[in-house]
Structure formats: C-alpha cells, structure tokens
Amino acid sequence: MSDNHEAPNGAPVSARLGIWAFLATELLLFGALFTAYAQFRITHAELFHQEHLKLNRVLGALNTLVLLTSSLTIAIGIAAIRRGLQKLLKVCLSLTLALACGFLFIKYLEWSHDFHMGWFPRTNLFFGLYFMMTGLHGLHVLAGMGVMIWLLYKAQRGSFSAEYNTPVEITGLYWHFVDLVWIYLFPLLYLIG
Amino acid sequence: MADHPNTSLPEDRGYLSEHGFRSWALTMDHKRIGVMYIWTTLGFFVVAGILALLLRLKLLVPGPALFSDHTYNVLFTMHGAMMIFLFIIPAIPSALGNFFIPLLIGCRDVAFPRLNLFSYWIFVAGIAVTVGTLAAPMDTGWTFYTPYSAQTSAAVTALSFGLFLIGMSSILTGLNFIVTIHTMRAPGMGWYRMPLFIWAMYATSVIQVLSTPVIGITFLLLAAERVFGIGFFDPAKGGDPLLFQHFFWFYSHPVVYVMILPAMGIVSEVVPVFARKPIFGYKAIAYSALAIALIGFLVWGHHMFVSGMSTVAGVIFSFLTFFVAVPTGMKIFNWIATLYKGSITFESPMLYALSFIFLFIIGGLTGLFLGALATDVHVHDTYFLVAHFHYTMMGGTVMGLFAGLHYWFPKMTGRMFNETWAKSAWWLVVSGFNVTFFPMFILGMQGMPRRYAEYPAKYQALNVVATVGSWFLALGVIIMFANFIKSLRNGPLAPDNPWRGLTLEWQTTSPPPEENFHEIPTVTDWPYGYGSRNEAPRE
C-alpha cells in the first residue's frame, strides 16, 4: 500500500516528504546554534546588550525586507508554473536570484565594516555567535542560489510545466526556510532590548 | 538444501550479473550500494578490531610494554572512532538496510536511488579525510571533549570535516529510508503488515535525521573554535566546555539506538523463523522501537552525571534513563514469549540471535547500574563502563549483525555458507566475547579506570584473562569471515528460501534480479504466520 498518490497539482508525496525531512535536519542544525545563543545570552546578558549596539539595524532591517521579498517572488514563481506560465517562472527565478545577491551584498557591507572596526569571531562570544550564525545562514543562501541557477537553466530549456514542477516547489520550501531562519536571526542579533 | 550441492557458477547471477568497476561505482541499485557498504564497514571492523587486539596485548602487563603511552592514547582513540563512525553506525542501517528495506517492503529500489549513491560516496570521502588525519594522530578519545580537543596539535579540524561528511551521509540515508518506507510499500502492505525490521529501520532513520545535524554543527563549532579562535567551549573566553558535552551527547546518545535498533529488528525477523512461531506482541515490538527512538532523545544527560550538572537535572535524566529500559525490556519479553513452545532449530543465524538476547540482557541491565546516580559515581570511567558498552554494542549490535549476515547471506550472494564452520565460529565468538569482557565488570567494580595505559599490578590476573579471551574472539571472527569468503567463491547454490521465511525477500530469487521482483508481490497478510497459515513447504 503506497502513500505516494499524486498530489492534486504539484510535487509527489515522496519529494515533499523528503524535503520536509531535510528541513527538519536543517532546523536541528541551526537549533544547536540557537541553544548556544540562549545559554550565552543568559550568562553574558550585559555583553550581548553592549555588543549588539554595534550592529547596523538599518542594514539588518533592509536585508529582512530583501529576503522576505525574495520569498514572495519564488512563491509567485511556483504559482505561475503550476498554471504553466513558463515565462513568469523565469522572471520570478531571476528576481529571486537578484534579491539573494542583494542580500549577500548588504551582508558583505556589514561584515567588511565589522572587520574594519576590528570585530572578529574571536573578539567575544557575541561576535563569535553573530559570525557563525549569519555565516552559516549566508552559506545556505549561497546554496539556494546555486540551486536556483540550475532551475533557471532547466526552465530555459522548458523542463518545467503545469504537470512537472517538483524541483521548483521543493526549492521554494527550502528558500522559505532560509528566510525563516533570518527572521529569527534579525531580532535575536540586532534588536536585543 | 540439495543432497548433491551444485557449486558450479549459476546461469542467472541476478543483480550480480554485471562486472567491472563502473558497474559498482556508478550503480544506483540499492543492493549493490548495500554490498559496497558491507565491504567498507566490515573492512573497518577488521582494522579497528586489530587495534583492539593490540590494546589488549599491551594490557597483558601492568607496566610499560610494546608502545608508548601516547601511542596507546592514539590507538584507543582510533579504535573507538573507527568502530563507531566507520563501522557500527553504518554497519546495519546503511549496509543491510540498503539491501533489504526495498526487498522486505516489496519494491524495486529506494525512493531516491541517485541520492543513495551520493550518500555512499560522501561516506567514502568522509572516510578519506578521517583516515588522512592519521598524519597527525588523534589522542583525544572518540568523544573529542573540549578544551583539550580545541588545543591539541592533532588534526581535529580536518577530522571534524571528515566526520561532518560521514554524518551527512547518515542523514541522507535515513531520509531516503523514511521516504521509501512511507511511499514505496507493496500493494496491500499496510503499516501493520510491515516486517519488524522495517519498523526498526524506520525508528532508526528518524533518529539519524534528527540527531545527526546536531553533531554536525558541533563539529563545525569545534573547527571554528580552532580556526577562528572563538571561545564557545573555552572557559577562559567566557565559554562553557559543558555545552560541548551537551551537544555531543545530544547526538551520541540517540545514536547508540541507531546502532542497536536495527540489530533488534534483525532479531525480530530471525527468532520467529527459527522458532516456527508467529512473533509474539507484534505491535508492542513495533511501537517499542518508536518509543526507544523518542525517549532516547531525552537521556543524554546521563553521560554527564559527574561532569557538573544540577541534582534536579541528574534525577530527571536518571529517571528517563530507567524509562527507556521499559520498551527495551518489552522487546526482550516478546522475543522470549515467541520462543515459548516453538519448534526451535539452532542454525547459525538463530544462534547469533539468541546470543544477542542473552548478552543484551546483561548489557542492558548493567546500563541501569550506570544510569542510577549513586552507583554511577562509583563506577563511571571505570572498566565497568567499558564492559557495559561492549556487551550492548558487541554483544548486542554485532551479534545482531552476524545474525543478519548469516540469515541473509544466501539471499545476497546466491550461495550457502558452511554451517559446521559457522557454528564453530559462533562458539569461539560468544565464549571469547564473554571471557574478554566479563572480567571488565569485575575490574570496574574494583576501581580500575578506563583509558589508562598502565595499571596497578593487583588488576593483572583479570586483565590476562580478558586478553586471552580476545584471541579466541578474534579467531572466531577470522573463521566466520573465512567461511563467508570461501562460500562466496564455491559454496553450494542457495535455494530461494533456505530458512522457509515468509517475508517478501524470500519470494524472489537468490540472488535477486536487478529489479528485485519479476512481478511486484501483493501482500494479503502479516509476514509472521509461521506454524499456521502461509507455511512454506519444507524443502
């Protein structure tokens, strides 16, 4: 008896189950970092408060906006290809890629400012966590961009249609997850009361 | 088995028909990938086993002997790390699981065959990096505790990377199995018609998927600690070495269930076949696997009773540790109830399965001594722990693995092994095992600490006993492997169903064709109707 009946329109159950299980591992990967954050924020409350003031809230907020918008564009892309709109999918993937580049560029500006000011991972526990968490998140953004370039290449060759769009859908789920991690990172690192 | 065994090369070699490097290295056939895992993991079992023999040989005398104390530290680190990460974690899930999950649920392959091949090759890449670190040998113990592991000149950073890759392989394999079990079962196979090995592998995969990322990030943090000089685990920089231990055991305790659950699954398959009785308490065994997986996530603190933990936390972890013994005990009672009034025969798979039950009872119960707060203070970090661990892992998992290897050897290779030699090997393995490890319980109670290169002379007698036992154990394993290798070349051809099993893998040919089944079977009943309906005729 198979649970693998085709979903109404979209990815088969196996692909969906696979990506959700993968996202569960990602959650635990970041979970340990959040645990470390919780512990050190309790034991070093004063340090965390002082150091977080050094981060640029405006750039952080801007990046939140950029990444949220990219989640919107890829969601529109999925809705588009489900209706068979190949051209709109390509536009949406390109926009998502551009926004991801924008996110990393802003991150680059922030990090180079930090390095210029002499704030490194070894500086203290707050910056150690800041660089580890945003760094690991940045790697996930990069990985997502790699996948989207591949999707764009496939879309260019007309591989996706209303009937077959599994890779687009599961990449979308991954991208929303990456977005979600940032939504937690932003207040925890930039907006400590 | 036929009276005049036919040992000539059969015409149909099934999935083994193709030859050559590429036919293996680039295969997406779950059976071939399983076979590659078997060779890889057993290879490291031999290497790490030789290291163990060297360690035991040195411990024959209390004082300095054979090699330096530093070499001793390196050897026990390598023995532990290889046995755990390169052998016992992947040995049953990745090897036998890969081969038999699709066969037992009646499908043609796993859900993501390409991902499966990828898992194998990142496992190999991880091994390459890990073995490469021998250039600056590791002396941290397999637990890599900070702050020492953050400071030592050994190649901890590279090793972290290697183990990260191996962990990734483990995650992807688990993910693949979860999806396979959910979506690829044969028509008619509802959840309660699944073989218990599948339930066990499902629980195992859940643990692999949910716990391995935590050790992944722990290794990344350890590497970052060394490369960037972050102080997460360094008290001098405000960090906390206990945090490392929490992270480490959040993975490394659940992972002992990754090691033991598949072995329990094998025992659940073997016992009813050789007792010719339906398994007793099917649902209890199935759900106890999930219960072990769940509770197993909540007991990691018992590794840290003496490293600084509040009494309240200690009491809670101690309680949960006792609690996880309940589903384990349920399994054991169910196996024993299955044996009750059965028509038991003692072929080699059954002998190993019964050894599992016997030895795991000892290993499991002594685990409760260690899980009790007050006793643990007395016996932690002594040979008592070494004995307990080896009774569960070698007496448990490895006996389960040996049971599975003998049980499924005819199916995997299409040939029978020599039963007389298999039984001789079993006598040596089980008696050698007990002679090696039982004295360690006594040594531990007497206070002999583990991981020390030298020891006071009063402990020598029992150490000599243990070392001599290790030789018998080794001889038994050598005979078993020699028997396998010889049978692989010229053993008699195996019938499709030598043990008269009812699970689906016995309904296809030995060895199975590349597509597993010429026609996908339809399941109409659970697979344990021994001695009643569905009984296959005696050959």
The residue extents of the domains of chain B are: 28-507
Q: Is A144 helix (H, G, I), strand (E, B) or coil?
A: helix
Kindly determine whether residue B229 and residue A121, on different chains, have CB atoms separated by under 8 Å. yes
- B224: nearest CB among A18, A43, A121: A121
A92, A127, B343, B363 from B536: Cα distances, Å: 60, 67, 15, 36
- Please give the structure tokens belonging to residue B310: 């509040």
Residues from chain B that touch A3, judged by Cβ atoms under 8 A, are 182-183
What's the sign of the alpha-carbon dihedral B386, B388, B393, B394? positive
Residue B492, preceding peptide bond in cis (omega within 30° of 0)? no
A-B Cβ pairs (cutoff 8 Å, strict): 112
Residue B420 and residue B483: Cα distance in Å, rounded? 10
What are A80-137's pLDDT values in tens digits? 999 999 999 999 999 999 999 999 999 999 999 999 999 999 999 999 999 999 999 9
Which position has the token pair 């490895």? B398
Phi, psi at residue A47, to the nearest 5°? -60, -45
Q: Is A76 helix (H, G, I), strand (E, B) or coil?
A: helix
Q: CATH homologous superfamily of domain B28-507?
A: Cytochrome c oxidase-like, subunit I domain (1.20.210.10)
CB B176 within 8 A of CB B116: yes
Residue B402 and residue B242: Cα distance in Å, rounded? 37
Residue closest to B282 by CA, chosen among B191, B196, B203: B196
Q: Is B534 helix (H, G, I), strand (E, B) or coil?
A: strand
Looking at residue A6, what is its pLDDT? Answer: 46
Residue A186 and residue B333: Cα distance in Å, rounded? 52
Distance from CA of B433 to the nearest CA of A (A): 37
Q: Which residues contact B511 (CB under 8 A, 6 or more apart)?
A: B13, B14, B15, B16, B31, B411, B412, B413, B414
What are A6-65's pLDDT values in tens digits? 444 557 899 999 999 999 999 999 999 999 999 999 999 999 999 999 999 999 999 999
- Please give the structure tokens belonging to residue B309: 């933990």
Residue closest to B393 by CA, chosen among B77, B172, B92: B92
Helix count (H) and strand count (E) of chain A?
A: 6, 0
Q: Tell whether A146 lies on the interface with B, counting CB pairs under 8 A.
A: no
B484, B492, B501, B506 from B3: Cα distances, Å: 21, 10, 21, 21
Residue B470 and residue B472: Cα distance in Å, rounded? 5
What's the sign of the alpha-carbon dihedral B343, B346, B351, B353? negative
Residue B217 and residue A129: Cα distance in Å, rounded? 13
- A122: nearest CB among B112, B229, B247: B229
Residue B86 and residue B37: Cα distance in Å, rounded? 10
- B175: nearest CB among A2, A18, A121: A18
Q: Is B321 helix (H, G, I), strand (E, B) or coil?
A: helix
**Region A178-182: what's the mean pLDDT?**
97
DSSP letters of B112-141? -HHHHHHHHHHHHHHHHHHHHGGGS---S-
Task: Set out the domains of chain A in order of their start, with CATH numbers.
Answer: 30-190 (1.20.120.80)
CB B296 within 8 A of CB B328: no
Residue closest to B352 by CA, chosen among B409, B267, B470: B267
Residue A124 and residue B239: Cα distance in Å, rounded? 10
- Please give the structure tokens belonging to residue B240: 């906390």
- A17: nearest CB among B179, B188, B247: B179
Residue closest to B202 by CA, chosen among B353, B329, B101, B106: B101
At CB < 8 A and 24+ separation, what contacts does B483-488 make? B483/B417, B483/B418, B483/B421, B483/B422, B483/B425, B484/B405, B484/B409, B484/B417, B486/B418, B487/B409, B487/B413, B487/B415, B487/B416, B487/B417, B487/B418, B488/B413, B488/B415
Kindly determine whether residue B243 and residue A39, on different chains, have CB atoms separated by under 8 Å. yes
Looking at residue B138, what is its pLDDT? Answer: 86
Residue A51 and residue A110: Cα distance in Å, rounded? 14
Residue B488 and residue B412: Cα distance in Å, rounded? 10
Residues from chain A that touch B300, judged by Cβ atoms under 8 A, are none
Q: Is B285 helix (H, G, I), strand (E, B) or coil?
A: helix
Phi, psi at residue B18, to the nearest 5°? -75, 150
- The tally of CA atoms less than 13 A away on the side-chain side of residue B299 is 25
User: Which residues of chain B, if any, have pLDDT below 70?
Assistant: 1-11, 532-539
Q: Tell whether B402 lies on the interface with A, counting CB pairs under 8 A.
A: no
B216, B221, B417 from B123: Cα distances, Å: 14, 21, 30
Residues from chain A that touch B250, judged by Cβ atoms under 8 A, are 32
| Best B211, B226, B232, B234 residue to mutate vs chain A (most A CBs within 10 Å) | B232
- CA-nearest residue to B194 within chain A is A1
Residue B177 and residue A147: Cα distance in Å, rounded? 24
Residue B375 and residue B441: Cα distance in Å, rounded? 13
Question: 204-243 in B: which are within 8 Å (CB) of A?
Answer: 209-214, 216-218, 220-221, 224, 228-232, 237-240, 243
Distance from CA of B212 to the nearest CA of A (A): 8
- Burial environment of residue B191 by CB neighbours within 10 A (0 to 12, 13 to 18, 19 or more): middle
Distance from CA of A28 to the nearest CA of B (A): 6
DSSP letters of B369-418? HHHSHHHHHHHTTBHHHHHHHHHHIIIIIIHHHHHHHHHHHHHHHSB---
DSSP B143: T
